[in-house]
């Protein structure tokens, strides 16, 4: 996800998306541990998206606007 798209979502949608991504990351880690992971770069993408969402949520909490 692009940061522009993330900023357009509401807080509730971001929290929901964050929960989904955390579950996906858990599943990817499990697949990696059992050598069933097809695309290891997906883990990196999911981690970055989680970080972007957390950043936007924190900015909104602190009242930082661009």
Provide the CATH number for the domain around residue 32: 1.10.287.310
Question: Taking phi first (over 0 means left), then psi (-120 to 50 degrees means alpha), and beta for anything else, what does residue 31 get?
Answer: alpha
Mean of pLDDT values over 37-42: 94
- The span from the first CA to the last CA of the chain, in angstroms, equals 19
Residue range 29-45: average pLDDT?
95
pTM: 0.91
User: 7 lies in a domain?
Assistant: yes
In tens, the pLDDT along 9-21 reads 999 999 999 999 9
Residue 66 counted as domain residue: no
How many structural domains compose the chain?
Answer: 1
Report yes or no on 33 lying in a domain.
yes
The neighbour count for residue 53, using CB atoms within 10 Å, is: 20
User: What is the span of the domain harbouring residue 53?
Assistant: 3-61
12 part of a folded domain:
yes
**9 belongs to a structural domain:** yes
- Range 27-42 average pLDDT: 95
């Amino acid at each position: 996800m692009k940061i522009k798209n993330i900023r357009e979502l509401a807080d509730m949608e971001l929290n929901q998306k964050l929960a989904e991504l955390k579950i996906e990351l858990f599943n990817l880690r499990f697949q990696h541990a059992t050598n069933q992971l097809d695309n290891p770069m997906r883990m990196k993408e999911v981690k970055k998206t989680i970080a972007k969402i957390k950043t936007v949520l924190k900015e909104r909490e602190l009242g930082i606007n661009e």
